[in-house]
Chain A
Amino acid sequence: MTANAHLEQPARAAPGTPRNGSPQQFGRQAVTAVPMLWLLVFFALPFVFVMKISLAEADIAVPPYTALLTWVDNKILSIHIDLSKYLFLFEDSLYLAAYLGSLKIAAVSTIFCLFIAFPIALFIARQKPETRIFWLALVMLPFWTSMLLRVYAWIGILQSNGIINSVLLELGLIHEPLALLQTDFAVYLGIIYSYLPFMVLPLYATLEKLDETLIEASADLGARPTTSFLTVTLPLALPGVVAGCVMVFVPAVGEFVIPALMGGPDTLMIGRVLWDEFFSNRDWPMASAVAIVMLIVLVVPVMLLRSRGRHSLGHG
């Protein structure tokens, strides 16, 4: 954990370092170029486009925003940048409330996903290799149907004349149907259910690689199962925990469909605000500004998580 531990490199690392200009290095560059290109095409370029729109002004035109660059008299290039959208994000408390609402829902859902997914992943990882695929398939199976269908299935289960309420009424446990749908509870349930596999899979991937003898070693050294889990399994599963949390948290923040279908009227999430800006207000620049800030709000905690994960892993 101390800094000097990182300074001392293992002696074996030296022969592995590539020399400049060697074929291996070219190969490595080619290999890293593919994801870089991917990032450029599917992340950087769209980001720049959206950024550009966020700096324009809304207009009744096709497209419905002003150009940033215009030629005046075909001679002078005039640049028109409008930062008012970003300022407005701070003027109206709605945006802050929506961002915080989204972050809260995403964070709570992520934590629940983690607590539910960890035992599942651990269970699967401890099965015989031949039977693991079966359990993994059970986790993955719902993904082969449309997400919308699965959300509707939950609506069918939760609604006032749905399965849960019918059974409870039949058993005489309740006399009035419980309001399960159109509540924050339903939103959490929908998000946790939908994103659970995104948590299970990375956790499974790290736990599957976990050397069972390490657990035995800790037991041998006097650790009870709980202690063994906390001091060995959990720290070693940390990369999976971080990856799973990112994969659940990030899309959950931007989630639109689940709160729209399962949430109550007062469920306020940033995805809805963005939708309103784009479709109800037809203010593409404002919608873009909301999206850009959402991205920044997301990227910062992800970076923090990543660096934390890397730090506690040492050289990983």
Chain B
Amino acid sequence: MQNLKRGAFAALIGLAVATPLNAADNKVLNIFNWSDYVAPNTIADFEKATGIKVNYDVFDSNEILEAKLLAGRSNYDIVVPTASFLERQAKAGIFRPLDKSKLENYKNLDAELLARIAQNDPKNTFAIPYMWGTIGIGYNKDKIKERLGVDTITSWDVLFKPEMSAKLKDCGIAVLDSPSEAIGTALGYLGIDPNSEKPEDLAKGTDLMKQLRPNVKYFHSSQYINDLATGAICAVVGYNGDILQARTRAEEAKNGVSIGFSVPQEGGLMWFDVMAIPKDAPHAENAHIFLNYILKPEVTAAISDKVHYANASTAATPLVSPEVRNDPGTYPSAAVRSKLFTMKAHSAKFDRLLTRAWTEMKTGK
């Protein structure tokens, strides 16, 4: 409502004065980012250095961000979608191409990762990578040892072989409630292109999930953080950052729960959160200033230190504290990294098939 009013007001002014919008109040920047996704001083330092006042809002799911962007007139200058979401949103014409001449720190970015992101954002037109991570298996070390006799999980067999997942049923298996990521992971395990939209490939992925299904306690995309930390579940297909957060919580609680994370040898999904500027951003100029600021190695490194996610800056990585930099959960080894695959946006038609197959797998209906 407020955005709407502000938009209408800006439009009126625009008509009356016929001057570029960003000239009117150019000392403001509206950012919409994931919650807990910057260092404590990131925004304050930026405001101090530039004199630009930042309005900082947070969200906690790509869907919420997407709904806002698709509804239009979001009034944000910087948004942080995951790359596969950005791909589809870009097709709807939501974003403004970056003016890379204004981003002198762009050179700090890892070329290999930029090339991967280019699968979602051709020629890296709209977005810069912010943080990235993986989807793997988070597990309760003691309970896995007890039931499977291993110290670390190295293969997806643990979940995708029914006789093995059955052994974990009693201590609780959780899976991300995200059809594209979960089925993509299953297809990767089967050696099938995770981005395939062939119905027969979808059927194979779904069948594999159906074998796991009887041993799954629940499908949810965030509940597992707490449950893994408290020992209510013992294995989860989840995001590396969330699982590391569960590990921290368990350590802080001193509850004797010891948590491990691995991306198994068959490979896993890799995701990128990227920063982009909406087409109707009222302060696009300031948005560029902010992106350039974020790309400074010391700024990026400070964020990685705080949020325990890998960044995409070759210049920043050496500045990241060794504790984070050497954690294979955050920075996978080169061997694992070579087996990571990225998700593409699906066609609307395939999305529907995928969602339907997922629902059918879960509920039997």
Interface positions of A (Cβ within 8 A of B) = 58, 60-64, 92-94, 97-98, 159-161, 176, 182, 260-261, 264-268, 273, 276-284
Contact = CB atoms under 8 A, between A and B. Distances in A.
Contacts of A276: 355, 359
The prevalent SS among residues of A at the interface is: loop
A214 to B, nearest CB: 49
Contacts of A97: 363, 365
B255 to A, nearest CB: 9
Nearest to B353: A281
Contacts of B218: 182, 264-265
Contacts of A279: 63, 66-67
A41 to B, nearest CB: 13
Question: Interface centre among B71, B218, B358, by most A CB within 10 Å?
Answer: B218
B227 A159 contact: yes
Given A97-B365, A266-B363, A64 B232 contact: no
Nearest to A160: B232
Interface stretch (B2-10, B18-26, B89-97): B89-97
A63 B72 contact: yes
Contacts of A264: 217-218
A281 B230 contact: no
Given A161-B230, A261-B220, 16 more contacts: A60-B92, A61-B93, A94-B356, A94-B360, A159-B227, A160-B172, A182-B217, A182-B218, A264-B217, A266-B363, A266-B364, A267-B363, A280-B351, A282-B70, A282-B88, A282-B351
Contacts of A63: 70-72
Contacts of B92: 60-62, 64
18 contacts: A62-B69, A62-B70, A62-B71, A62-B93, A94-B365, A97-B365, A161-B232, A182-B217, A277-B355, A278-B63, A279-B63, A280-B63, A280-B179, A280-B358, A281-B351, A282-B66, A282-B348, A283-B352
B348 to A, nearest CB: 6
B161 to A, nearest CB: 20
B352 A281 contact: yes
Interface in B321-365: 348, 351-352, 354-356, 358-360, 362-365
A161 B255 CA distance: 12
Contacts of A62: 69-72, 92-94
B247 interface: no
A64 B66 CA distance: 11
B70 A265 contact: no
Interface string B75-97: 00000000000001001111000
A267 B216 CA distance: 13
A117 B255 CA distance: 39
A60 B88 contact: yes
A63 B92 CA distance: 9
B355 A280 contact: yes
Contacts of A266: 362-364
B29 to A, nearest CB: 22
